[in-house]
Structure 1
Amino acid sequence: MNSITVEAQMMIRKPVEEVFKAFIDPNITTQFWFTKSSGPLKKGKTVTWEWEMYGAVAEVLTKDIVPNKLIATQWGNPATQVDYVFTELTPQNTYVTIKNYGFTETGEELHKTLMNNTGGFTTVLDGLKAYLEHGIQLNLIADKFPQNLKQ
């Protein structure tokens, strides 16, 4: 395992409690990220996230929760750590940092994974910002890889 960490970050113009809840509560998260979840994130529990448009599924273990500060998870194949860190800048502004680490890949595979995860988590934060600040569902995840795209 190497010590490389992917980071994506964004200021969200909403109170920390609201931004934190957006990641815990799948009724909110499905508005900007995955399409289905088996339940809310709870410490020590595993939930299933689905991206129906891609036929993709992830088992997500919540390792720790510090209300309005941290959600620590493990997921992916191979599994990596994904931490969501919430910093209250003002009562109406929250800075969210997503940190992904614990990669086992090397060489070109590691490079590809780092690029994909950096872009993916940035897209998640962009969608979160649009949804929480403006009530707009941008469909960023669904439109990232359109089915009719010829590569």
Structure 2
Amino acid sequence: MKLEPKAILQIQKPMEEVFEGIVNPLHMTKYFIAESSGRLESGNEVVWKFPEFSEKFPITEIHTKSPHTISFVWDPETVVNIKLEEQKDQSTIVRVNEKGKELNEKNLAWALENSGGWANFLACLKAYLEYGIELRKGAFDFMRNNSTTS
């Protein structure tokens, strides 16, 4: 059995705007990451830096189909899939799932943590796109000295 952390949220913005908010590092650094070496685009490989971790994370096997899907690998065992669904009211449902790890005690803890992480990602994306609020700013400063891994 493979584990699959998931999160879903509706954002009151058009699908194209939500897609750009996810793939463009100028936006992502306002709600998710501290640094990125480039856009999430098919064929690219980028490196992300999070404010709460000292490590940098390579993002590989990026595939995008604007404005509907984004997928990438940031852990050799898993693939992140983000799907956007336009609604009649011009809002967008965003679904995130991460697949690949086998069921065991260590990976179960990982799945629970990542489900919360993706829910946080979506809440921060919503706050940023709808209201210009950077929810993540300072939210994880307490982790800087307490963690050396993701």
Q: Which has the higher strand share?
A: 1
CA gap of 1:14–1:124, structure 2 versus 1, over 3 A, is same
Aligned residue in 2 for 1:110: 107
Aligned residue in 2 for 1:131: 128
CA gap of 1:145–1:113, structure 2 versus 1, over 3 A, is farther
Aligned residue in 1 for 2:47: 48
CA gap of 1:108–1:32, structure 2 versus 1, over 3 A, is same
Q: Which amino acid aligns with 1:80?
A: T
Specify the SS of the correspondent of 2:142.
coil
Contact 1:88 1:94 in 2 (8 A): yes
How many residues get paired? 146
Q: Which amino acid aligns with 1:117?
A: N
TM-fit CA distance, 1:79? 3.5
Structure with bigger RCO (C-alpha 8 Å, 6+ apart): 2
Q: CA RMSD in A?
A: 2.0
Percent same amino acid among aligned pairs? 28
Aligned residue in 2 for 1:19: 18
Mapped to 1, the partners of 2:128 and 2:91 lie a distance apart of 15
Aligned residue in 2 for 1:143: 139
TM-fit CA distance, 1:143? 1.6
TM-score by length of 2: 0.88
Specify the SS of the correspondent of 1:53.
coil
| Structure 1: runs of 5 or more not aligned | none
Mapped to 2, the partners of 1:75 and 1:69 lie a distance apart of 20
Mapped to 2, the partners of 1:148 and 1:39 lie a distance apart of 24
CA gap of 1:147–1:73, structure 2 versus 1, over 3 A, is closer
CA gap of 1:62–1:17, structure 2 versus 1, over 3 A, is farther
Q: Which amino acid aligns with 2:117?
A: G
Aligned residue in 2 for 1:88: 86
Aligned residue in 2 for 1:72: 71
Q: 2:97 aligns with which of 76, 79, 99?
A: 99
Instruction: After superposition, give the CA deviation of every residue in 1:44-63 in whole Å (9 maximum; x if it has no partner).
Output: 22100001332132111143
Q: Which amino acid aligns with 1:63?
A: I
Runs of 4+ in 1 over 6 A off after TM superposition: none
